[in-house]
Amino acid sequence: MTTASIMIDRVVDWQDTDAAGHYHHSTVIRWVEAAEASLYEQLGCLHLFGVIPRVKYEVVYRDRLWHQDRVHIELTVSRIGTSSMTFDFLVDRDGTVAAAGSLTVVHTDGAKGGSSPWPEKIRAGFATGGRQQPPLTHTTTTN
């Protein structure tokens, strides 16, 4: 079995661009977190929000994206530790990678604040979940 992954589609909206006309660097983390939320929803793990802070985020920007470009965001579980998990992600337009990186989260005991081991059921879902389908179609605005 393969680790859990998901691919979502987005369109670069006007508000995603900067003064130079291409997408702003902060757009990628929003798309990655949207893919992450979709994956949690599909795996029945929405309750994790609030107990999985981000501890590391890296991205390499390889190509520019422009207003109205259609992109795919692929998020894949690449490593599951005792209490942490790393996702690798790719943002591509028509097969050309525009951004690639990783996001690491840590499972915590929300009340105490320290790291906490992943519950076995959740760990198993991420370890063997395979490709998930996004739950909803994202609507975009057109300006």
**Domain extent for 59:** 5-132
- Residue 22's nearest CA partner among 56, 66, 61 is 66
Q: Does residue 93 carry a pLDDT above 60?
A: yes
pLDDT band, residue 136 (cuts 50/70/90) = low
Q: Does residue 84 carry a pLDDT above 60?
A: yes
Per the domain annotation, does 139 fall within a domain? no
Per the domain annotation, does 140 fall within a domain? no
Per the domain annotation, does 141 fall within a domain? no
* pLDDT digit string, tens, across residues 26-36: 999 999 999 99
pTM of the model: 0.89
Per the domain annotation, does 138 fall within a domain? no
* pLDDT digit string, tens, across residues 56-75: 999 999 999 999 999 999 99
- Residue 2's nearest CA partner among 99, 121, 129 is 129
- Residue 97, domain CATH: 3.10.129.10
